[in-house]
């Protein structure tokens, strides 16, 4: 299958992609996934190298990117801040210009989104946002792909996110608005998604027809939900807010009782890692409604498609 092209050099947020580009990416992902299951491997990235900069630790991001590029014939370099001079004061611009002469792509998982922007601005090669405090585009694209492969028409679905209006929530909002998926975000008022992201999503939804609801009313949000999603309440780097957040999010948990208030056969999603019994009950995670581990697997397939589209 032909590798889909992406106009943007980089993938920093979901809105770097058009609706058409996302759907073509999904078609290519399906092809890669089916071929892998059949034992068919493609060398689309033969002799290509991906530098992976990690300032935040990870299970899924590291393993899926590293495994993915190897399956495509390429090679990955794991670079923690202790492995490179970035951790000792070398500027991002210098790092970007040096890596541009050595490797074929960069994935960065960091705190400030401005770091990813600066890296891309000074890099001659593609930069992929593996996560920042503001956005998580690879996760969001994976989430919508997981819905896409289950639905005849993704625009006829409603996704409900319960919990912290964090980087995942921001990226889900943008993805839903681009694709035409109805979305409701239920968070305590002080933990709602970024106002500028909500504004951008509403502007995008005027073209796609997606309905957007931002509320603190969980019962209102979950009405007719086809997919129910949550994430941890305390993200990496927010440990000092643990007690404050646990108090604020009391009641914002996915339980079997909450699931019963959703649409018939509503599926449950979580980007992992999960704190069982906190933001989601174990019996929900392990229920027949859960597609959490299908979702986790799809990080591999979607990111392979992203790397091909940007690095070939």
- Look up residue 26 and give its two tokens: 């999904």
Asked if residues 82 and 137 have their Cβ atoms less than 8 Å apart, the reply is no
CA distance 261 to 264: 9
Which burial class, exposed, middle or buried, applies to 122 when counting CB atoms under 10 A from its CB (0-12, 13-18, 19+)? middle
Q: How far apart are CA 156 and CA 223, in angstroms?
A: 14
Q: From CA 134, how far away is CA 173, in angstroms rounded?
A: 12
Among residues 169, 195, 196, 171, which one has the least CA distance to residue 184? 169
Residues classed as catalytic: 109, 136, 139, 231, 271, 299
Helix, strand or coil, per DSSP, at residue 268: strand
CB atoms within 10 A of CB 47: 9
Q: Which residues contact 126 (CB under 8 A, 6 or more apart)?
A: 9, 10, 11, 104, 105, 106, 310, 311
* Most distant pair of Cα atoms in the chain: their distance: 55
Judge whether 22 and 144 are in contact, CB under 8 Å: yes
Q: How far apart are CA 157 and CA 192, in angstroms?
A: 22
């Amino acid at each position: 299958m032909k590798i889909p092209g992406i106009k943007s050099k980089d993938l920093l947020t979901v809105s770097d992609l058009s609706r058409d580009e996302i759907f073509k990416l999904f078609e290519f992902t399906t092809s890669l996934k089916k071929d892998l299951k059949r034992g068919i491997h493609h060398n689309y990235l033969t002799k290509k190298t991906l530098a992976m900069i990690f300032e935040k630790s990870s299970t899924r991001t590291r393993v899926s990117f590293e495994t993915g590029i190897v399956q495509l014939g390429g090679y990955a370099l794991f670079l923690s801040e202790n492995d490179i001079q970035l951790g000792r004061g070398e500027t991002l611009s210098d790092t970007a210009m040096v890596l541009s002469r050595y490797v074929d792509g960069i994935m960065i998982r960091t705190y400030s989104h401005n770091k990813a922007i600066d890296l891309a601005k000074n890099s001659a090669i593609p930069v992929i946002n593996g996560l920042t405090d503001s956005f998580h585009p690879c996760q969001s694209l994976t989430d919508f792909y997981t819905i896409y492969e289950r639905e005849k028409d993704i625009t006829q679905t409603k996704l409900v996110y319960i919990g912290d209006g964090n980087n995942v929530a921001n990226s889900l909002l943008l993805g839903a608005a681009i694709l035409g998926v109805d979305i409701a975000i239920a968070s305590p008022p002080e933990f709602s998604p970024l106002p500028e992201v909500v504004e951008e999503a509403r502007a995008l939804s005027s073209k796609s027809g997606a309905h957007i609801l931002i509320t603190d009313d969980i019962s209102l949000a979950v009405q007719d939900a086809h997919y129910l999603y949550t994430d941890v309440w305390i993200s990496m780097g927010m440990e000092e807010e643990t007690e404050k957040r646990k108090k604020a999010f009391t009641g914002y948990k996915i339980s079997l009782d909450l699931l019963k208030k959703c649409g018939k056969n509503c599926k449950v999603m979580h980007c992992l890692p999960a704190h069982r019994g906190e933001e989601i009950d174990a019996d929900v995670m392990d229920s027949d409604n859960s597609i959490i581990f299908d979702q986790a697997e799809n990080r591999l397939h979607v990111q392979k498609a992203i790397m091909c589209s940007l690095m070939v």
